[in-house]
Structure 1
Amino acid sequence: MVEYTGAFKAAVVQAEPVWLDADATIDKSIALIEEAASAGAQLIAFGETFIPGYPWWLWLDSPAAGFEFFGRYHENSLTLDGPRFKRLLDAARTNNINVMAGFSERSGGSLYMGQALISADGDLVSSRRKLKPTHVERTVFGEGDGSDLAVHDTPLGRIGGLCCWEHLQPLSKYAMYSQHEQIHVAAWPSFSVYKGAAYALGPEVNTAASRMYAVEGQVFVLAPCSLIGDAALELFCDTPAKQQMLQRGGGFAQIYGPDGSPLAEPLPEDAEGILYADINLAAIAVAKAAADPVGHYSRPDVTRLLLNQTQRRPVEHTAPRVETLEEPALPEPETAQA
């Protein structure tokens, strides 16, 4: 494993997408990429399904009522080989910055909650899918598999990511820690639904999940978080009841050190902007000296994790067997006797 001891500046986004409009949201993403690069950042992270925005209608009405949104959402989801996604690759290369994008991935007729790590050279390092969409998300999105629990070597360090309530899955977290992750992107949509009625969906619990991930794994955690603004309220909340269920704000982006300390000054929850922090990987060794959950602080004789990272797809193509008919061998001609 490569050892990284350098320092760099990281950036996390707190912003509202341009809802159900991939092209406009990519325009906005590129502007944020340019801003972060101009500020000296070498890595920028976006929230869960920032492109084309999180499907908030799922939490506000019946699945059937959301059909009016689904067609637009499907059309504005990204394919990894499409021209929209290429714009993100080009923006990373042009601005010489690594990008962790959050997007809805379209593959055939299915959608997945995607995170893509793009190098500063504009190459796709990896693309993962949320392992298990949460609650009503399952009415829109499919599942990932064990190959989506992966950490990747980059010039900045070993980078991984999870989405939203994947940070409440102890075994998934341990799988990531076991790969000696150093920089983790914890992507969130916003904490603005069911305020006062569902404490587990609020900022107290979910920011604590990001912070605890940093402490448990002794990693730097970049926690981008989108927010709800006037555009979302106008689009999704056409009744007083919906206006009560989804409220303005919900942005709680932060960056945490490997000891759990916040490294950036937070923005107001309804304000757009970019948070920055200096990342020094040398701090990880100090944190792990006290408790390394996959090293000296583990007890494999008592508990161990079985991690299956096999990529699972519904269809596996194998080469057809080709039958060849061989001509029967002819007898050797007899040699003439002298």
Structure 2
Amino acid sequence: MATTHPKFRAAAVQAAPVFLNLDASIDKAIGLIEEAAKHDAQLIAFPETWLPGYPWVIWLDSPAWGMQFIQRYHDNSLVYGSPEAARLTAAARKNKITVVMGHAEKAGGSLYMGQWIIGPDGETIARRRKLKPTHVERTVFGEGDGSDLAVWNTPQGRMGALCCWEHLQPLSKYAMYAQNEQIHIAAWPSFSVYRGGAHALGAEVNNAASQIYAVEGQCFVIAPCATVSKEMVEMLCTDDTKKQLLLEGGGFARIYAPDGQLMHTPLAETEEGLVYADIDLGMISLAKAAADPAGHYSRPDVTRLLLNKTPRDRVVVVQPDAPQDMARHGDDEAQLVSARTDMLTAVAASTRAD
């Protein structure tokens, strides 16, 4: 019997949050979720740290200047299991839609750049953290671990997610491709800072990164991208120099097919709204037939990737009455050491052969 491939409509958000206001931003998010559902979308994706907004202060001045915003940013970041988080799961369930929320995750005293995949039943499919915050982001956010380079089964297909310049990390991308990713969420903050100067931060390079990801991984890429609102500029740009660094707009939400084609008409960069595309996973097999980098188009005898997906918890509590758990963790470490040993042995053998 022939395989039938899932078909569905996806939506990518291009909008500004209510900056540093978690409750009001969740109100806005729920409105966008409802709008997407009314247009028959089964998946909606939000930009990087959309709750409570990307912390543009880190690009505008010194860390000392930016500290005036830090407590408010912490207080308005999302905590899993909180009443605010429950509002999002309820919205997904009510509208029967998969939601991928980009947010600042507060866990204990630290913040992480999170992506939360909520199923149409309101249940959590996955929670991930940006593996390595980029440049000055490291003054605000902590790091993820190898378990965050993962692809999950969802009602729409095998879905993965990365944030912003994680799409410039070749090894991380390859780790995702190798897990048979079909739908990729590429979350971006906004292309509003240092316009005209630092081209690597602009729309041309970063949209190209999303497009290349679609072609390399032979998957659909849903790339939400926030805008910077007039209110955000007024709050953050306290002098003329800052007003030249951070501009209003910067929204470039895109959805790309596995062959790299743009699947919709873009919105103007200052316009808020949703972009939609009708996804047919059957297109993937055509792209894979040409070049599958983790399959027939690879050369594992020449290059291979070592992926350690062991969660790296800061504190591991070992209970005396749980020898099986202790053994399991030991097995994980033993497997990692074995994999490293095998790789080093293979490299040494290859070197001797040369």
Please state which band the TM-score falls in when normalised by the shorter chain: over 0.9
After superposition, give the CA deviation of every residue in 1:251-281 in whole Å (9 maximum; x if it has no partner): 0001000000000110000000000000000
Instruction: Describe how 1:6-45 pairs up with structure 2 within 5 A.
Output: 6-45=6-45
Supply the AA of the counterpart residue of 2:141.
Answer: F
Q: Secondary structure at the match of 2:279?
A: strand
Distance 2:320 2:71 in 1: 37
Task: Count the aligned residue pairs.
Answer: 320
Q: Which runs of 4+ in 1 moved over 3 A?
A: none
Number of the residue aligned with 1:189: 189
Number of the residue aligned with 1:266: 266
Structure 1 position 227 matched with structure 2 position 224 = no
Displacement of 1:316 after TM fit? 0.4
> Structure 1 pair 321/183, CA: closer, same or farther in 2 (3 Å)?
closer
After superposition, give the CA deviation of every residue in 1:307-331 in whole Å (9 maximum; x if it has no partner): 0000001110111469xxxxxxxxx
* Contact 1:4/1:281 (<8 A) preserved: no
> Structure 1 pair 4/166, CA: closer, same or farther in 2 (3 Å)?
farther
Q: Secondary structure at the match of 1:285?
A: helix
After superposition, give the CA deviation of every residue in 1:206-243 in whole Å (9 maximum; x if it has no partner): 00000000000000000000011201111110100000
Number of the residue aligned with 2:340: none
Number of the residue aligned with 1:296: 296
Q: How high is the TM-score relative to the length of structure 2?
A: 0.89
Number of the residue aligned with 1:117: 117
* Contact 1:162/1:187 (<8 A) preserved: yes
Consecutive unaligned residues of structure 1, counting only runs of 5 or more, are 323-338
Distance 1:41 1:176 in 2: 25
Supply the AA of the counterpart residue of 1:281.
Answer: L
Number of the residue aligned with 2:314: 314
Instruction: Describe how 1:66-215 pairs up with structure 2 within 5 A.
Output: 66-215=66-215
Distance 1:165 1:106 in 2: 21
* Contact 1:47/1:187 (<8 A) preserved: yes
Q: Secondary structure at the match of 1:162?
A: strand
> Structure 1 pair 290/313, CA: closer, same or farther in 2 (3 Å)?
same
Supply the AA of the counterpart residue of 1:227.
Answer: T
Greater Rg over alpha carbons, structure: 1
Identity between Structure 1 and Structure 2 (%): 63
Number of the residue aligned with 1:247: 247
Displacement of 1:67 after TM fit? 1.0
Distance 1:321 1:52 in 2: 42
Number of the residue aligned with 1:333: none
RMSD between aligned residues: 1.0
Supply the AA of the counterpart residue of 1:87.
Answer: R
